[in-house]
Structure 1
């Protein structure tokens, strides 16, 4: 089958709409529809069910879509390998990431890569936990920086960053001198919450059932930058790993106090690579730089924790 038909089928299946697929592909809707109808006539069976404003694959369509994606992936591998023979890397690398890594890990790697390989482009998507699950299930990203989950099939873990969820606040906050905190203790003060607090929900619900506490959310937002501004202003406590706050923690503008709850004591952010794309030169090169940043961040987190312990010890003396 011709490459353009494969791309049409792939995009229509992803977007569930011939019109939206045509817009992404920058071609006329009639051209996309005509090619699909022609292929359906050749095969002798419909590939998509047309309903209202959208389409969905038939069982036969599922087979063809899988073939299209596998063929496109293999072709991308071939073209990347051929291009890499000259040392000139081309192509887009799609990265899915939790907000904290977009703040801290990715920019430094991309900055180096853009200078060394100016023909590599990046499609970087910041995702909530719900969006992460959807994107990983569809296997869209080449690389992902997300909380490690055994359900992320089709991906290999390249690097792991052990992290501790904690309460982030100004250094003059009444709780800032503590070594650890419980959610109940934090609930006595105003908090700023992300719209999707992921693993806090179940743990907080269990603990608050026994303690009778309840969070008083001064601000609810889906913006990491907004939470930083709120905490800088001393308006509320936030709950995060240290990764998104490295600069503020290093400078002492904010402090990170680990949470005691067993379910929150250890989280792991991983760098994941698509198994079928891990040999693409562009993806492999970007992954190598991100692995270096993972190691750098791990060192910085240890240094921040050690500095915080020294400050607390000095305050006691």
Structure 2
């Protein structure tokens, strides 16, 4: 199949609309529609259900999408291998991770890797922890970093460390005097949180979900950088892994306290990759470096 058909099909499947896909691809809607019809004619079956408000993959379309993603992955893998044969350290690394890792951890990892592989390009996205695994499993990204829960079939853990979420606050905050904190301890203090669903949605007890739903935050925003500054200045408390505040903790600007909740404290931060897709050698090297860096951070924060 021609490369443009593959590209058009994947974008239409992602958008659920030929018009939106055409806008993203910077081509005419008629061109996209023509390619989709051509593909369906070649396959001898409809691949989409046509709905009043768009189109949706049917069972045949879902199977086609799996095939196309595998084909594109094999193509990128082949290109990376050809580059290596030419002694060129090229390739493309795709990473999806929870937002708190974008302040220090991931930038440092990319900077370090870029010194060894200056020609490598990257696609990196920030999402909520619960969205990481589905995006790696679906083939949108090859590497994911998130709080670990039960993984769906098709994913494996490249490495994980014991850096569970806890309560972060300014050194002078009253709760800093306690060794462990309950949800009840936190309820009467100004609470700062990221916009959207709980970062621990689906991975901890109902008691956490109840607290999350009942508490009234003093600040809601979509920027980890802003929350970090507000926490350090004493404007309130927030829930993060030590990983998100490594530098601030080392400088004594904030303190981190664990929850008095065994199931929360058992959570780990992990790096996940797909089992059923062969990763390029450059992505494999990036994962190896990421695991090493994660373990280094764990060691520095627990000693």
Other-structure match for 2:301: 301
- Could you list the per-position Cα deviations for residues 43-71 of structure 1 after superposition, in whole angstroms to 9, with x for gaps in the alignment? 33222233345221233323322222222
Paired position in structure 2 for 1:177? 177
- Note if 1:273 corresponds to 2:273: yes
Partner of 1:308: none
Extract structure 1 runs of 4+ deviating beyond 4 A: 205-208
Tell whether the 8 Å contact from 1:99 to 1:224 is kept in structure 2 after alignment.
Answer: yes
Distance across 2 between alignment mates of 1:165 and 1:153 = 25
Instruction: Please name the residue that 1:234 is paired with.
Output: 234
Pairs within 5 Å for 1:149-188: 149-188=149-188
CA contact (8 A) 1:278 1:284 kept: no
**What is the count of residue pairs matched by the alignment?**
298
Task: Give 1 or 2 for the bigger CA radius of gyration.
Answer: 1
RMSD, aligned CA? 2.4
Q: Which deviates more from structure 2 when the two are superposed, residues 102-111 or residues 41-50?
A: 41-50
1:203 pairs with 2:185: no
Query: Match for residue 251 of structure 2?
Result: 251
Cα separation, partners in 2 of 1:87 and 1:178, compared to 1, 3 Å: farther
- Note the alpha carbon deviations across 1:162-189, whole angstroms, 9 max, x for none: 1232221111112212222222122232
Unaligned runs of 5+ in 2: none
Taking a change above 3 Å as real, the CA distance of residues 295 and 133 of structure 1, as seen in their structure-2 partners, is closer
Which residue of 1 is the match for residue 79 of structure 2? 79
Contact 1:167 1:257 in 2 (8 A): yes
- Encode CA deviations 1:211-251: one digit per residue, 9 max, x unaligned: xxx74532223322222122122121112110100110000
Q: Relative to structure 1, is the Cα distance of residues 23 and 94 closer, same or farther in structure 2, using a 3 angstrom cutoff?
A: farther
> What's the counterpart of residue 189 of structure 1?
189
- For normalisation by structure 2, the TM-score amounts to 0.88
Q: Give, in whole Å, the separation in 1 of the partners of 2:43 and 2:79.
A: 28
Aligned-partner Cα distance in 1 for 2:152–2:127 = 15
Supply the distance in 2 between the matched residues of 1:205 and 1:271 (Cα, whole angstroms). 25
- Secondary structure of the residue aligned to 2:236 is coil
- Inter-CA distance 88–53: structure 2 relative to 1 (3 Å threshold): farther
SS at match of 1:73: helix
Mapping of residues 138-157 of structure 1, within 5 Å: 138-157=138-157
1:310 is matched with none
1:126-154 deviations in Å (ceiling 9; x for gaps) = 10145335524533111000112223332
Please give the secondary structure, in 1, of the residue aligned with 2:191.
Answer: strand
How far did residue 107 of structure 1 move? Answer: 0.9
State the 1:269 CA deviation: 0.9
What corresponds to 1:40 in structure 2? Answer: 40
> In the aligned structure 1, how far is the partner of 2:255 from the partner of 2:82?
49
Q: Does 1:69 align with 2:73?
A: no
Which deviates more, 118-127 or 69-78? 69-78
2:107 aligns with: 107
TM-score, with length taken from structure 1? 0.85
Mark the runs of 5 or more structure 1 residues left unpaired by the alignment. Answer: 209-213, 304-317
| CA shift in 2, pair 1:48/1:240, >3 Å | same
Counterparts of 1:237 and 1:193, CA distance in 2: 9
What's 1:263 paired with?
Answer: 263
Secondary structure, aligned partner of 1:144? strand
What is the deviation of 1:90? 2.8
Distance 1:105 1:285, change over 3 A: same
| Higher mean C-alpha deviation, range 173-182 or range 199-208 | 199-208
Instruction: State whether residues 18 and 33 of structure 1, in contact with CA within 8 Å, keep that contact through their aligned partners in structure 2.
Output: yes
Q: Secondary structure at the match of 1:217?
A: coil
